[in-house]
Amino acid sequence: MATAVAMRIDPRLRKRRIAVRRAEGRRRLRVLGVIVLVAGVGVACWAATQSRLLDLDHVEIAGVEPAQAALIEAAMDLEYGTPLVDLDESAIELLLTDLAWVESATVTREWPGTITVGVVERVAVALMPRGDGSHVLVDADGVAIAVTPGATPPSVLPIVAVRPEGSLGDTQDHAAPALAVVASMPDDLASWVEAIEIDESGLRPSVVLDLVGSATAVLGPAEDLDDKLDAVRAVLSGVELECLATIDARVPDHPTVTRDPICEATLGAVDEPNS
């Protein structure tokens, strides 16, 4: 029959085991405490962002006049009192650039309760007639910005005599050759130009300037424009303008001039009695 033998544990070993277990318990308590603390801080931070202390109280708009600022704020459709952290800056910027006259927008949250909006407006460089007396304003990229309410006073902006297409915000790609001329036009020549047309009858679009009076200047394709416009300026400043019909500057080094034969005949008939 087996006999049970009682094993005695060295008191020092027992104390060591107890100390180890107590240390493990304290370590678990510390870890648990840290978890609870972090969770508490997270909840507190979330609660703070949802409180009235950090909600939307002000919208500041820079870069536009008060009337445009009102349109910007209406387009954003923000609800005051919304937690600032819930507002998507990128989404608001995309929403604003949907406005035809807005080139770019920058939206920034400023704690504790302000949204700051910086707006860059598109700048009109030309008018495109709609056929009803009104015009579409376009910028240098050809984007249709706005519609004039009625007949536009002359000489405010160059007139690109091409019918606009699509809606506001659309790019008028078909007007690109004429807009390239607008971008290159010297100020002293601009005063001679009543409208810029595009002749589509050839293999490539040809730009034609309608000059003051009844004369025209043919530039051909929208290339080498600086040289072609300089050629037109040289002709206008160096030839007799009476009865001038056409300046052909398609070859800018050798521009040619044609005159209106009816005008010349009329002038000749007037001059004969005096001879």
Q: What is the average pLDDT score of the chain? A: 85
Q: 127 with 113, same domain?
A: no
Q: 97 with 130, same domain?
A: no
Give the Cα separation of 163 and 130 in Å (integer). 6
Q: Identify whether 14 is part of a domain.
A: no
Give the Cα separation of 168 and 259 in Å (integer). 41
Q: 272 with 206, same domain?
A: yes
Residue 14: per-residue pLDDT: 64
Name the more confident of 9 and 188. 188
Q: Identify whether 274 is part of a domain.
A: yes
Residue 46: per-residue pLDDT: 45
Each residue's pLDDT tens digit, 175-195:
999 999 999 999 999 999 999
For residue 140, what are the domain limits? Answer: 123-173
Q: 196 with 233, same domain?
A: yes
pTM equals 0.74
Each residue's pLDDT tens digit, 50-99:
445 468 899 999 999 999 999 999 999 899 989 988 899 999 999 999 99
Q: 99 with 127, same domain?
A: no
Each residue's pLDDT tens digit, 134-151:
999 999 999 999 998 776
Q: 150 with 194, same domain?
A: no
Q: 80 with 141, same domain?
A: no
- Relative to beta strand 58-62, strand 124-129 is unpaired
Q: 214 with 143, same domain?
A: no
Each residue's pLDDT tens digit, 222-273:
999 999 999 999 999 998 888 999 999 999 999 999 999 988 888 766 655 5
CB 222 within 8 A of CB 264: no
The residues with which 2 forms a beta bridge, in sequence order, are none
Q: Identify whether 25 is part of a domain.
A: no
Quote the number of domains for the chain: 3
Residue 266: per-residue pLDDT: 81
Q: Identify whether 192 is part of a domain.
A: yes
Residue 151: per-residue pLDDT: 65
